[in-house]
Structures are given as C-alpha cells and as structure tokens.
A and B are shown apart, each in its own frame.
Chain A
Amino acid sequence: MPTRNRDEVIRVELTAGHVWTVVAAGLVFFMTPGLALFYGGMTRAKGVLNMMMMSFAALGVVGVVWVLWGGSMLAGDPVLGGLTADPFAHFGLHGLMGTEDLLSSDFSVTFAIITVALISGAIADRARFGTWVVFTLVWVTLVYFPLAYMVWGDGLFSEDGALGRIFGEPIDFAGGLAVHINAGIAALVLILLIGARRGFGRDSGQRPHNLPLVMLGSAILWFGWFGFNAGAATTVEQAALIWTNTLVAPAAAMLAWLLTERIRDGHATSLGAASGVVAGLVAITPACANVTPLGAILLSAVAGACSAIAVGLKYRIHLDDSLDVCGVHLVSGIVGTVALGFLAIPSEGRAGVFYGGGWGLLGTQLAATLFVTLYTGVLTLVIGLVLKATMGLRITRRDEVIGVDLTQHAESAYSLKDEATGYFAGQAPARPLPGTAEAPVPAASKGDNQ
C-alpha cells in the first residue's frame, strides 16, 4: 500500500459512531422490503404483487425525491414559520456532500421511505398504481418532510419553534409522531376516500394468503428496528437501553396480543404473534430512549392488547383498513407517545407523572399528537381529494374482480402448474397502458391459478 496523505482522502475521520450510523441506516432501509413481505402475505393471492410494489414504489420515489429536494427540507434553515426547511437550499444534496451532514441525511431518508410505505396497507387490492406513485411523491413532500423537520429538526416543535415554546418539545426519539401516528392518520384519510374492498366483511377470499411471508416480514422488521431505534443513540448507555427496549417491548406486546386472542377467539395465532411484534415495536419507537425496560414492558403490553382489540373494530364501523394500519400503527403509536407522559425517566429537566415530573410532559405529548393528527389529516385529505378528482384513486369494479396484480401490473404471483396453460405470444408490442379503457387486460395469459 502506498502511503497517502489521509487528509486528502477522508476529511472527517470515520469514527465508530459514524460506522454505526452507516450500519443502522442499512438496517432501517431493509425494513421496507420486510414490510412488503409483511403486508404481501396478508393480502389475497391475486393482490400480493401490487401490495409489495406499493412498498417498492416508496423506495423508488422517496429515494429520488430525497436527493432532489427532500434532503434539503430536513437540513436547511426554517422557512414558513418553522413549517419546513428551504427545499432548494440544498437541492440535489448540494452543500451536504463532503460533510458529516450527508450521513445524517442518509439515515433520515430511510425513515421517510418506510413511513410512506406503511400507509399502503390500508388500501390493499383496490388502488390505482399510478395514483399511488404520484401520492408518494406529493405526500412525502408536503406531509412527511415538514413533519419530520418540525419534530426532529429546527421546526415548529423544536425548543425555539412556535409550538415548542407554547407546549414544550415533545419526546419522539425514533418516530411515534413523525412515522407511526403520521402514517396511521394518512391511512385513515385514504380509506375514507377510496372506500371498502368489494365483499369487505363477507368475502372469505380476503383472508391472508401466506402467513409464513407475514412472519418473515415481521422478523425482518424487528431486526431492522434495532437500527431504527438505536441508530440515533449518542452514548453507549443510550444505545444499550434502546437495544434492550427494542427487544423486550415487541416480546411483551406479542404475549399481550396472543393472550387477548386466546381469551377472545380461543386460539393464539401466528398472525397475532407477527402483529403483536409490530405493535410493540411501534409503541416503543417514541419511547425507546426514555423508559426503563420495565416501563417498556408495561407500555408495549398495553399497546399490544389495545391494537389486538382495535383491529376488530373495522368490521363494526365498516371502515376497510385492509391490513390494519390504523389498528396497529395509529393505536400503538398513540399509546407509546402518550405513555411517555407517565413513564418517561427524568432527563433534560423533563420526566413523566410516575417520576414526579408532573402533568406537563403528558400535556406536551397530547398536544403534539393532536397537532400531527390535524396536520396530516387535513393535508392528506386535500392531496387525496385532488388525486381522486384527477387521476382517480380506485381501480374499476371489473379490475378488482379480476385482481389488482393482473390489471395493474399484468402479472400473477404464483404459477404452480407446469403444463402449457396458454401460449407465448412473442415480444410484447408497444401498446396503451393495460388497465385503461383503450386496452382492457387480456384474459389470464401468464397463469390460471387465480
């Protein structure tokens, strides 16, 4: 090895902390493909590809938007009264290259991707794919990046922000507000706009088609979540506490979910275990650095039981939250965020009710929850209404019967027969997009197992 002047090669020396951020960003990135499996297994067989593609669309769109203007919206100086940062100050990540700040931005984008992808579970089997792609672009720009800046950056809820000065700075270590409540509210609004699946609550074909995929997905989510929660740890003590809580919270929530099911339905199910793990991870997300391991068990057990009960409500109120984005992410996100008002251990002059901190922190957490609900709710409603009026949110009734995979992507997930079931028609000629009125999708030529 020729000796080189190190200053020329690495301007900021790579420390263990930087290495951990690089690894953690990779872990969080892998959660979105994990989510695609978690959601994909839960849909019916004729919708699994579309479900997974909605997560992959988030990877594609948010990845590019982040480089163009998203990264700037998290890194710059506040504009619009602290609502966001200037999207053009660091356009193309200009000004971040060659600095440590690019690494922070790398870590941040993985959160943006999964937050968008989380929403997709609510609109399984019936959304127009093109509209979803446009939605991810608009939503991440107008809702996610501003909200992440308000909660984690120098925006409205920071110490010096307008709302932070009135209500105090909320505790949201890894994204109870910015990720889970945010995605849950957006999901709720989209469900109201898009309507229920055909046969919702009656069609037995709507039960999950592949539970091993769901369990694999939840395992990948749990694995990645160690990076999601502990990625921003600044001390060894903090990293250790977060890792401990990220293990024990899903464990306790899974047990709580299984117990709830055993009592209510008679059996502890694999889907319940996978769901309980995710509910516990969601609940501990805002609190991972600010509760004791015992507090984590209490908080996530409550979240697991609440989410297990909440997922049954959709049939009573006829709200087709297909894969329970609200039941799991909104409910457990709120439980985790609000529970901090009671369980937060003393730090930086704040503590929860149980640690003698008084009711102030609880008020802050509630105010922040209410603000996210309103901000996300109103903006998602506007975005959704515009898209509904222009592109249309929903596929046609006929396409829904045939299946969203075949009509939106001209593919089927599983072809289990080896015999000839059609014929090879040669290289596909250019033609209008399938699924449009000019080009109805041809009968199942790629498989007949639907």
Chain B
Amino acid sequence: MKLITAVVRPEKFSDVKDALESYGVQGMTVLTVHGYGRQRGHREVYRGAEYTVDLLEKVRIETVVEDGEVQDLVDVIVTSARTGEPGDGKVWVTPVENTVRVSTGELGDVAL
C-alpha cells in the first residue's frame, strides 16, 4: 500500500477530483494548505503600502491505494492538475505499513 499526497492549485482541484473519481478511487482526504515553491507570491497594495503574499493557498489531497495502482494514479493527478506554469504543485508517494477500516476492523488492502 502506498500513500499518494498531491498539492495542487485550488482552481484545478475539481478537475483532479473528477479524474480520480473516474479512475475509480474510493476515497480521499482533502485539506486547504498554505505554502510556496518556485511560484513564490503575489503583490497587494493597500493605500500605497505594498505587501507580498508569499504563502499561497493550495489544496492537498491524500489517498491510500494498492501498490499496482500507484503509477496510473500519479499520472492521472499530474495530467489533470497541470497548467505548465510554476505553482502547479507536487505529488509524492510514501509506503504505508497498514490500514484499518474503523467501522469493521478489516485490515490491509481490504480496508482501502
């Protein structure tokens, strides 16, 4: 089992979610997060005072999947989240020891 974590643009989130659902992903956890990478920030001016806002809002998606699905799902996310500009985000994969379905107590792949 692997945990796929993706940080994407908020405006691309619905595309990514639709693409993941079309692929057959059973569930995901979504968080609104702030951060920066190569994109850095934008400029705001209030009564002539300039502020640089460099922690930008992003959407972080987490989903645990079977090993065999990992490569396809990463491709689905990258394709649906891409605009080609800096600020499109990152996707990373981490190994998962085990999972438990809380309602039944089932373990492992069955619990996904």
A265 touches which of B48, B52, B53 (Cβ 8 Å)? B48
Task: Across the interface, name the chain B residue whose C-beta is closest to A313.
Answer: B48
For the complex, give the distance between the alpha carbons of A163 and B23 in Å: 86
Task: Across the interface, name the chain B residue whose C-beta is closest to A265.
Answer: B45
For the complex, give the distance between the alpha carbons of A204 and B50 in Å: 9
For the complex, give the distance between the alpha carbons of A315 and B46 in Å: 13
* Chain A contact surface mostly: helix
- A294 → B minimal CB distance (Å): 28
A312 touches which of B49, B52, B53 (Cβ 8 Å)? B49
Decide: A275 and B47 in contact? CB cutoff 8 A: yes
| Interface bin, chain A | 10 to 19
- Mask: chain B, 31-51; 1 = CB below 8 Å from A; 0 = not: 000000000000011111111
For the complex, give the distance between the alpha carbons of A401 and B53 in Å: 20
For the complex, give the distance between the alpha carbons of A272 and B50 in Å: 13
List, in ascending order, chain A residues with CB within 8 A of B49's CB: 207, 312, 315
**Which A371-425 residues have C-beta < 8 A from chain B?**
none
Decide: B48 and A264 in contact? CB cutoff 8 A: yes
Q: Is A450 an interface residue (CB 8 A)?
A: no
- B44 → A minimal CB distance (Å): 7
Q: Is A449 an interface residue (CB 8 A)?
A: no
For the complex, give the distance between the alpha carbons of A261 and B44 in Å: 12
Decide: B51 and A208 in contact? CB cutoff 8 A: no
List, in ascending order, chain A residues with CB within 8 A of B46's CB: 207-208, 269, 271
Decide: A204 and B47 in contact? CB cutoff 8 A: no
Task: Across the interface, name the chain B residue whose C-beta is closest to A204.
Answer: B51
Decide: A312 and B51 in contact? CB cutoff 8 A: no
Task: Across the interface, name the chain B residue whose C-beta is closest to A328.
Answer: B47
**Which A254-270 residues have C-beta < 8 A from chain B?**
261, 264-267, 269
- B55 → A minimal CB distance (Å): 9
Additional A-B contact list (20), CB under 8 Å, known A265-B50, A311-B48: A204-B51, A204-B52, A204-B53, A207-B44, A207-B51, A261-B48, A265-B45, A265-B48, A266-B45, A267-B45, A269-B45, A269-B46, A271-B46, A271-B47, A275-B47, A308-B48, A312-B47, A312-B48, A315-B49, A324-B47
What 8 pairs between A and B have smallest CB-CB spacing? A312-B48, A265-B45, A311-B47, A204-B51, A207-B51, A207-B46, A271-B46, A208-B46
